[in-house]
C-alpha cells in the first residue's frame, strides 16, 4: 500500500501479534534499561556478592599462607617438646635404674645368709670394725672354706688377705727377706705372699701349717730362703703327702727332709723328750690335736727352751699361741703322737 504522497505504507501488525502487547496494540514494547527494576537490583546485589567473594578468595589465600606458617611453627614446637620429653624419659629411666641398683645394694644383707649361726653372730659383732670386715661379712657365703672367715675374725693381720681372696689370682710371691742360720723366722700360713695359694683343697692360709713349719725350719737351719711355704706345699702335693686333718702327712719329714738339706730324727712325744731334744741347733716339728692349742689340728715348730724351762713356739696359724711360752707337759699332751727333731745336714 502506498500513501497518497507516494510513500509506501507499512503493513498493520495483526492484533495480538506483538508478544507482551495488550489488546492487540501495535505499540512497540519498550526495553528496560539494565540496572532498573527488581531483577536488575537482584543482579547488582549478586554481582556485588561475587565481587566480595573474589575479595574473600584473595584474602583466603593470604590466610592459607599465614595458616601454613602457623602450622610449621606449631610442628616445630611440638617436635622440640617431643625431644625434651624423650630426653626427660631417658634421664628418668637411667635415674630409676640407678636408684633401683642403689636400692639393691642397700638391700644386700650386711651379713650373708647360708653360714653357720655362730659365724653369723661373730661377724655381726664385728661389722663396724672396718670396711674390709664388712666386705667379708656380706660375702661370707662365697667362701668355700669357713675357716677363712674365722681367720679374719681371729687374726687382724689376715683381714686384708681374706677380703681380697675371692678376687685373688692365687699366686705366690718370693720370700723377699734375708735368711740367717740359727734364726728361725716366725711365718704365718696366711701371709699375703703365699696365703691365697691353693693347697690341700683350700687356701694355704688355713691348710698350710705343715709346709710353713718346714719352711721356717729350713730357713733357720740352712739360711736359704728358697723354700717358702708355697714351694714346700707344691712339693707335698706333688708327692701325695698333703693329707690328714692337718693337711700334711708326717711322712713328709721322713721322705723330703734330706732333699731340703735337713736331717730328721723321730721321737715319741713326752715332756722329757721334748725338753731333752730342744737344744741349740735342734728344732721340733710337732703335730698338735684339735682343741688343744687352737680349734684345728695343725703343725707347730718348737724352737727354743727358756731359762724358766718353758718353750718358745712358732705357730703358723695363731699369733696368740706364738706370743706365749709353753711348758713341756702342755705341749706333750697336745701332740698327736710322734714329733720330728730337725737339724742341719752336714755339708
Cβ 161 vs Cβ 205: under 8 Å: yes
When mean pLDDT is compared across 278-282, 288-292, 319-323, 332-336, the lowest value belongs to 278-282
Q: Residue 319, exposed/middle/buried by CB under 10 A (0-12, 13-18, 19+)? A: middle
pLDDT of 213 strictly over 50: yes
Contacts of residue 296, defined as CB under 8 A and 6 or more positions apart, other chains included, come to: 147, 245, 290, 317
Domain ranges for the chain, please list them.
117-165, 198-344
In terms of pLDDT, which residue wins out, 26 or 155? 155
pLDDT in the model for residue 127: 85
Q: Are 246 and 299 in contact (CB under 8 A)?
A: yes
The helix or strand, by DSSP H or E, that contains position 338, with its residue range, turns out to be strand 335-344
pLDDT of residue 332: 98
Determine the 3-state secondary structure of 47 from DSSP.
helix
Residue 281 has what pLDDT?
77
User: Quick one: how far is CA 8 from the chain centroid?
Assistant: 131
Give the 3-state secondary structure of 83-130: HHHHHHHHHHHHHHHHHHHHHHHHHCCCCCCCCCHHHHHHHHHCCCCC
pTM of the predicted model as reported, rounded to 2 decimal places: 0.69
Mean pLDDT of all residues belonging to the chain: 83
Whether the Cβ atoms of residue 283 and residue 342 lie closer than 8 Å to each other: yes
Looking up cell 631417658 gives: 90
Tens of pLDDT, residues 45-104: 444 444 444 444 444 555 555 566 787 877 788 888 888 888 777 877 766 666 565 555
Give the pLDDT band of residue 267 (cuts 50, 70, 90).
very high
Does the 198-344 domain belong in CATH 3.90.70.10? yes
- Looking at residue 159, its pLDDT comes to 97
Residue 340 has pLDDT above 80, yes or no: yes
Count of H helices and E strands in the chain? 12, 8
Residues with Cβ within 8 Å of residue 282, at least 6 apart in sequence? 341, 342, 343
Q: What confidence score (pLDDT) does residue 70 get?
A: 81
Pair 209, 176: CB distance under 8 Å: no
pLDDT digits (tens, 9 = 90+) for 304-316: 999 999 999 999 9
pLDDT band at residue 20 using 50, 70 and 90 as cut-offs:
very low
Q: Closest Cα to residue 248, out of 234, 259, 261?
A: 234
Average pLDDT over residues 171-178: 95
Q: How far apart are CA 116 and CA 109, in angstroms?
A: 15
- Residue 23 pLDDT > 60, yes or no? no
pLDDT at 126 over 60: yes
Q: Please state, in angstroms and rounded to a whole number, the distance separating the CA atoms of residues 313 and 265.
A: 19
Average the pLDDT over 151-169 and give the result. Answer: 96
Average pLDDT rounded to a whole number, residues 255-281: 94
Those residues with Cβ within 8 angstroms of residue 184's Cβ, 6 or more apart along the chain or in another chain: 216, 217, 219, 220, 283, 301, 303, 314
Q: Specify burial of residue 185 (Cβ count, 10 A radius: 0-12, 13-18, 19+).
A: middle
Burial string for 14-44 (b: 16+ CB within 10 Å, else e) reads eeeeeeeeeeeeeeeeeeeeeeeeeeeeeee
Q: Which residue has the higher pLDDT, 106 or 321?
A: 321
% of the chain at pLDDT higher than 70: 76
Rounded Cα distance between 58 and 278, Å, is: 123
Q: Which of 96-100, 177-181, 196-200, 211-215 has the lowest mean pLDDT?
A: 96-100
- CB-CB contact of 120 with 150 (8 Å): no
What is the structure's pLDDT at 14? 42
For residue 119, give Cα distances in angstroms to 67, 138, 213: 78, 12, 28
Phi, psi for residue 189 in degrees, rounded to 5: -70, -15
Does the pLDDT of residue 198 top 60, yes or no? yes
Amino acid at each position: 500500500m502506498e500513501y497518497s504522497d507516494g510513500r509506501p505504507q507499512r503493513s498493520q501488525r495483526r492484533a495480538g501479534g506483538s508478544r507482551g502487547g495488550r489488546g492487540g496494540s501495535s505499540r512497540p514494547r519498550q526495553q528496560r534499561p539494565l540496572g532498573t527494576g527488581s531483577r536488575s537490583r537482584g543482579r547488582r546485589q549478586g554481582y556485588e556478592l561475587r565481587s566480595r567473594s573474589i575479595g574473600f578468595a584473595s584474602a583466603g589465600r593470604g590466610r592459607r599462607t599465614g595458616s601454613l606458617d602457623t602450622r610449621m611453627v606449631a610442628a616445630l614446637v611440638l617436635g622440640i617438646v617431643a625431644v625434651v620429653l624423650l630426653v626427660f624419659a631417658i634421664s628418668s629411666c637411667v635415674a630409676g635404674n640407678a636408684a633401683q641398683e642403689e636400692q639393691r645394694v642397700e638391700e644386700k644383707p650386711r651379713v650373708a645368709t647360708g653360714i653357720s649361726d655362730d659365724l653369723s653372730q661373730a661377724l655381726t659383732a664385728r661389722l663396724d670394725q672396718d670396711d674390709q670386715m664388712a666386705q667379708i661379712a656380706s660375702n661370707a657365703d662365697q667362701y668355700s672354706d669357713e675357716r677363712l672367715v674365722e681367720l679374719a675374725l681371729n687374726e687382724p693381720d689376715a683381714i686384708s688377705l681374706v677380703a681380697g681372696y675371692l678376687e685373688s689370682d692365687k699366686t705366690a710371691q718370693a720370700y723377699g727377706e734375708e735368711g740367717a742360720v740359727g734364726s728361725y723366722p716366725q711365718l704365718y700360713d696366711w701371709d699375703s705372699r703365699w696365703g691365697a695359694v691353693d693347697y690341700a683343697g683350700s687356701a694355704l692360709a688355713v691348710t698350710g701349717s705343715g709346709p710353713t713349719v718346714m719352711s721356717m725350719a729350713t730357713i733357720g737351719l740352712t739360711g736359704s730362703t728358697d723354700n717358702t711355704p708355697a714351694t714346700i706345699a707344691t712339693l707335698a702335693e706333688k708327692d701325695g703327702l698333703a693329707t690328714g686333718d692337718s693337711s700334711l702327712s708326717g711322712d713328709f719329714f721322713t721322705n723330703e727332709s734330706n732333699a731340703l738339706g735337713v736331717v730328721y730324727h723321730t721321737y715319741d712325744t713326752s715332756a722329757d723328750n721334748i725338753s731333752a731334744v730342744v737344744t741349740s741347733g735342734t728344732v721340733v716339728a710337732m703335730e698338735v690335736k684339735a682343741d688343744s692349742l687352737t680349734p684345728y689340728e695343725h703343725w707347730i715348730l718348737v724352737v727354743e727352751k727358756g731359762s724358766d724351762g718353758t718353750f718358745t713356739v712358732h705357730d703358723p696359724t695363731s699369733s696368740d699361741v706364738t706370743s706365749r711360752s709353753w711348758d713341756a707337759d702342755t705341749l706333750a699332751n697336745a701332740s698327736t703322737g710322734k714329733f720330728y727333731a730337725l737339724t742341719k745336714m752336714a755339708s
